[in-house]
Amino acid sequence: MSGTRKGRKSLSAYRDLIGKALLAECITLEDFPVLSQFPAIEERIRSFEFELFPRGKALQSLLREAVHDVLQGIGHSDDKSLGRIAEYIKLRYQQKQSVKHIAEQWQISTVQVWRSAGQVSLGLITDRFLEKARISEKNIPDCKTFSKLVHIDPNMRE
């Protein structure tokens, strides 16, 4: 038997892919076939079919929605930890700042940034992305975590 696992990706593997995709440009997103095969992405590709890089634009739009949903779910919380997570998401995934730059702003180490906000942020965005991409809990373990943590209905539409 081969040592390579075939079939579904683990939630950890999706987190890694989504973490990279969140920071990628549209042209680079064309090279993310695993994320691009979800039904929601396939549907969105049709709306970009006459543009350059339709797969990348479709994936980028769903990633941006996932980020927006997480920020909206956190809202204006008095909870310091949630506020830090929201700030990290804005700085890292909307403004594309490096973890090093965020650490300098917060006056803590890059490891502390990752542990205090980065891991949770990426987990929430991954969970929301997978929910929006219509992946069931049977296929991806624990993909409903986002809704449980920030109390958002996964069927929420704007």
State pTM to two decimals. Answer: 0.78
The stretch 12-34 carries a mean pLDDT of 88
53-68 pLDDT, tens digit each: 888 888 899 999 999 9
* Nearest Cα residue to 113 out of 86, 93, 84, 90: 84
Answer yes or no: are the C-beta atoms of 133 and 39 closer than 8 Å.
yes
What integer is the mean pLDDT of 136-143?
41
Whether residue 149 has pLDDT greater than 80: no
Q: What is the pLDDT of residue 6?
A: 60
